[in-house]
Amino acid sequence: MLTVYGVYRSRATRLFWLIEELGIAFTQVPVIQAYRLDDPMAADAPLNTRSPDFLRVNPFGAIPTIDDDGLVLHESLAIPLYLAKKHGGPLGPADLAEDALMLQWSLFAATEIEANALKLYYLCAEGRLDHEAGKAVAKALVRLLDRPLKALAARLADHPFLVGDRFTVADINVAEIVRYASSHAPVMHAHPVVAAWLKHCQARPAFQAMWARREAEAL
């Protein structure tokens, strides 16, 4: 049985989306981020990323983590790639070349897009775009995101999805990173091919089901 440590309001959305796509049975252990708590070490604190019980499972103190019949994995990109290969089907690689391409696009998004996309996401979420300083930071982040998003758009201009001309785990991993940047409309307006691909991915029933569970989760 697959056990998932984590909550939907985290990078675990990538994993939960894949689980919905594949229909995998699992047990969830709701570990929340320590930064969401005033005192994560309090005696009555819920299980969180600094709790000793969780640190025995993941010494890195981050979510998500899985235990798949004794195999413990921690990284939110590695876990979907592993499960897609294990369970097979069109979401996983058909051969070694597709496996390499899925890894390539996942790592590309993590290294070239995610950090600046997350900064932009928090600027929007915290309302800092209402101030000139925040607008200046956002403008700089949009500029930094332009080059990797152009590379992504170049791939998607001739292909409906990232690998094998079908929806795969690579699209899940990358879409969940691009989602952070999509919170700032000028980014998507500048890259309409990427925006259309993201909309197509998020229209899938599995994404909609995952997102409904995320929205229903306690803040």
> pLDDT means per 10 residues in the chain (219 residues)?
97 97 97 96 96 97 97 96 95 98 98 97 88 91 97 97 98 98 94 98 98 92
> Class assignment of domain 2-88?
alpha beta
Q: Are 64 and 58 in contact (CB under 8 A)?
A: no
At residue 147, the pLDDT reads 98
Q: Whole-angstrom Cα distance, residue 79 to residue 156? A: 24
Quote the pLDDT of residue 53: 96
**What residue spans define the domains of the chain?**
2-88, 96-207
For position 81, what pLDDT does the model report?
98
Could you tell me the two tokens for 154? 């170049």
Report the alpha-carbon angle 152-193-203, nearest 5. Answer: 100
What pLDDT does 218 receive?
79
Element (H, E) at 182: helix 169-182
Taking the model in full, what pTM does it have? 0.96
What confidence score (pLDDT) does residue 60 get? 95
> By the 8 A CB rule, do 181 and 119 touch?
no
User: What's the pLDDT score for residue 88?
Assistant: 85
CA neighbor of 32 nearest in space, from 8, 58, 68 = 8
110 near 41, Cβ under 8 Å? Answer: no
**Beta pairing, strands 2-5 & 26-29:** parallel
How confident is the model at residue 27, as a pLDDT?
98
Instruction: Check residue 58 and report its DSSP letter.
Output: -
> Running DSSP on this structure, what letter comes out for residue 126?
T
Look at residue 21 in the predicted model and tell me its pLDDT: 98
Query: What is the rounded distance in angstroms from the CA atom of residue 121 to the CA atom of residue 147?
Result: 18
Question: Looking at residue 129, what is its pLDDT?
Answer: 84
Pick the CATH number of 96-207 from 1.20.1050.10, 3.40.1190.20, 3.40.50.10470, 3.40.50.720: 1.20.1050.10
